[in-house]
Chains A and B, each alone.
Chain A
Amino acid sequence: MKTKNICDLARTIRSKNAGSFMITFEIIFADRNIYEKVKKSGAITRKAIADAYKLPEGEIHDFMFFDPGMGIKGNIERKSPSGGPGETDVYGCQQYAPLFSLEIPWEE
């Protein structure tokens, strides 16, 4: 089956601190039809997100589809709170890149 990369379908892919102990990330779509098609494809699941990060599924918290905002959301707990010893991403804003690997089954 043909696939499309998430970057060719989404409008925004980003991450950010949600408080000092959690990093939240989201994939936001601009087009309702594309969002619904991605959602129905079943390709984006908590497991798929965990796989992209090579993390156990249990480490992805509050995975959800947020229909009003046409967004897909998940969270990862920080290993240590933001900005302390050893920090390299104080805003948590560069933790989304693994999501670029998501491929969605796609027939035009």
Chain B
Amino acid sequence: MRKVSLLVSTGNLGDNIIEKGTFYEGVKRDIDYFGADAGTADAGPTFLGADMPHNPIEWERHDLEITLVESRKKKVPMIVGSASTTGTDRGVNLYADIIRSVAKERKMEPFTMALIYSELSIDMLRERVRRGETEPLGASYPLTDEVLDNTTYVTASMGIEQFTHALEKGADVIIAGRACDDAVLAAYPIFKGFDKGISLHMGKAAECASLVCWPQKVKESIIGTVYDDYFTIEPLHPDQQATPHSVAAHSMYERTNPFVQALPGGILDMHNSKYEALTDRICKVSGSVFVPSPDGSYKVKLEGAGEAGHRVYHFVGIRDTRAIEHLDLILADTRKKVSEIIGPHRDGLYDLYFHTYGKDAIMKENEPVAKTSSHEVAIVIEVVSKDLELATSVAKCAKFRFFYMSYPGQMNSSGGSVALLTDEPLFPKNKCYQWTVDHLVTLKDPLDPEIFRYSFETVSGV
């Protein structure tokens, strides 16, 4: 029976390291390709907005090195998507340099490396916005010049076609910019002629490696095998099982709808997917279908972030239970007093947040518990402003007003709150960034050269 097997060892290459035990167990098996996605938006907008790495370079190198060495020994493809978490050009270049350096150190035989860049020029995107080729996806607002003025970096998430193009051109190693994680893993079986729906669902199930199995373990290797009309998931850790339940449940993880997954050019429809136990450790899935978009359109997700300003923090703590009784009043009074002292005409130049731990810091407006029953609370004062000096003054002012707060039944004369750590505010190393672009762009050609740029090279250590 025709099949193609993937070894996948991490759901997030370079963010902590691959567990070697099950990786080398997997290497002993009949593996047709290695794949891994390195991307996530979960880490927040800072890494894209500032175009900086999320992971220590030595972790990135660790995962790339062991995967490259084994894929070259077996002479099978290695496919990596969303280089360096965000998939910007910097990320692709960083991974490409690591690959070149490992090849040289290990004196590797020549191989072909394809780099697929997917960072967008913001000016080029402006043109497409003007031509009406974009639409909101996760964002609730349309993409406009104003949004792009506040955006520093934008990437496009590639699908299947961008990877298969590189494979057709003979790539042994693919380092890609931002990519759909299922496409990173599904591209090779699709290139080999296997069913798109089955391959994509395998990619979706395997994208977090051992997280699809129970009991839960991270960074352990699993094998995903695509057959003509089904796929299987098998863990390599002896304590883990891939069960119909664990594999089905994984399709709920970090997704709003477990029945449908959109990607460029269509959707993966899992309404009729059938999950069965092949053995007590191997799960078999069939019935998943790729449905091309009814109007034939090819839409790609854009992800962008930009700078919101400087961010300054102060921390205060309250142990006075009579003050805590009047916490809402104290918070409102402090906010009012800060505005008065800084000047109401400057209200629009900064954002002031109180994160009140012990009350509603974690759930904010969605916190169903109305009144705290805690005997102490902490307030993280956060100020965001384009003007660092103003942000600092606002943070200091809020801290000071908490110290001199007044409320009914007050017993103290001053010192209504304690300053934690120091009287000086805290200044994070990075500015404050925010997601700005979460939209779709319609492409006439999946290989649109303004969006996806290719570079092929022969890498050799001999």
Contact = CB atoms under 8 A, between A and B. Distances in A.
Nearest to B311: A85
B150 to A, nearest CB: 11
Interface in B415-462: 432-435, 438
Interface residues of A, number: 46
B138 A84 contact: no
Nearest to B432: A85
A73 B258 contact: yes
A51 to B, nearest CB: 9
B82 to A, nearest CB: 15
A68 B434 contact: no
Contacts of B361: 88
B438 A16 contact: no
Interface centre among A75, A86, A89 (most CB of B within 10 A): A86
A18 B355 contact: no
A66 B252 contact: yes
Contacts of A101: 368
Contacts, number: 136
Nearest to A22: B256
Contacts of A81: 45, 138-139, 434-435, 438
A5 interface: no
A73 to B, nearest CB: 6
A70 B243 CA distance: 12
Given A20-B438, A28-B249, A55-B366, A82 B45 contact: yes
A54 interface: yes
B44 A61 contact: no
Nearest to A83: B44
A75 B257 CA distance: 9
Contacts of B433: 83-84
Contact of A61 (B138, B256, B258): B256
Interface in A20-75: 20-22, 24, 26, 28, 30, 52-55, 61-62, 64, 66, 68-71, 73, 75
Given A24-B256, A54-B368, A73-B258, A84 B353 contact: no
Given A66-B252, A68-B244, A85 B42 contact: no
Nearest to B382: A86
Contact of B355 (A26, A88, A94): A88
Contact of A73 (B252, B384, B435): B252
Interface string B125-164: 0000000000001111000000000000000000000000
Given A66-B258, A69-B245, A20 B275 contact: no
A55 B365 CA distance: 9
Interface residues of B, number: 46
Contacts of A98: 363, 366, 368
Contact of B364 (A20, A24, A55, A88): A88
A79 interface: yes
Nearest to B138: A21
Nearest to B303: A20
B18 to A, nearest CB: 22
Contacts of B254: 16-18, 24
A84 B249 contact: no
Interface of A: 12, 16-22, 24, 26, 28, 30, 52-55, 61-62, 64, 66, 68-71, 73, 75-77, 79-91, 94-95, 97-98, 101
Given A64-B257, A71-B249, A84-B435, 15 more contacts: A19-B138, A21-B435, A28-B249, A52-B368, A62-B256, A66-B258, A69-B245, A70-B248, A81-B435, A81-B438, A84-B45, A85-B309, A85-B353, A88-B362, A98-B366
25 contacts: A17-B41, A18-B254, A20-B41, A20-B438, A21-B435, A22-B138, A55-B366, A62-B257, A64-B257, A66-B258, A68-B248, A69-B248, A70-B248, A73-B252, A76-B366, A81-B435, A82-B44, A83-B43, A83-B44, A83-B435, A85-B309, A85-B353, A85-B432, A86-B351, A98-B363
